[in-house]
Chains A and B, each alone.
Chain A
């Protein structure tokens, strides 16, 4: 059964093949060409590495336990002004804390306040379960944040996932410093560290 829908690089290519191919591609870029030659010794190691990321499910990439989701939507008229007002009120106080799968998320206004870029790093077995959890736990907050976008059906509407998939742009590449660390695991590790410090203080 074909599980993998990503466009994956050929795995049988040797490092030398890859370097050759890159040299051809960079031949027309004066700055890139020089930089490529300078970085080939270091690149060699990375070109030899196994594939680090995999599909996050329906759309997007995952590295280890952490996936990326990048969306660009059009605002409805007046939508940018309302969302800006809301974000300024909220500062960084999002109910996302109730959904303990969000590492980070950003709201960036594009093209003269006509579009919204929403980009997040999240934990999960799959794209579907991530969105299901959001829709179950904080539908009102999500409706408020996304109500200013064109064609938004509302988070209680079964078509909301299709709407998101339609506007998601999968990354070509995705890097995570700690791919083994979920948000929950990071919290647990912080508690363990705190306990160790207290323990050492007591015996010290």
Chain B
């Protein structure tokens, strides 16, 4: 499955780059991510617990940064595995400094998903993924804001969203988009919670591939 998109960060390119290369921030953008352990400058290892409703599962994954041209571009490869299935993603990320001191980020790549993630979550992948990307960017925007403020000597605390807040956000976004799908028949409470979990895993790849 192809992924692509863009986002504007309210900060300079070096600041954005610095943030992106900080595993703490990456991890905090996705609740449930226990930690992103730095194995080397380019290799990270992480575990993400996902717990929504009665279903839980954990993904262990590897993140490799390659083709690095700081602060312009890099390639991110994610390989994750867990009870809900597996995912493998390769993404190319580019940062362009804009005249108004903001940074324009574009990303494109390909993600392979397997197991329960693929076989049960397919119908909702697009809408949930979009929601999770949106929320992921929101928290990164806040993280960036906090970093820049701290840099300027102000004390601004960055608080990543909790798992519950995150899941609620996804559910809200999903409900919005579902009403637009003509074929949907029996939604809401019938939806296997695994689907949402699946998508969190999927988005893990996206966020990590940024």
Binding partners A and B: no
Binding site for A on B (CB under 8 A): none
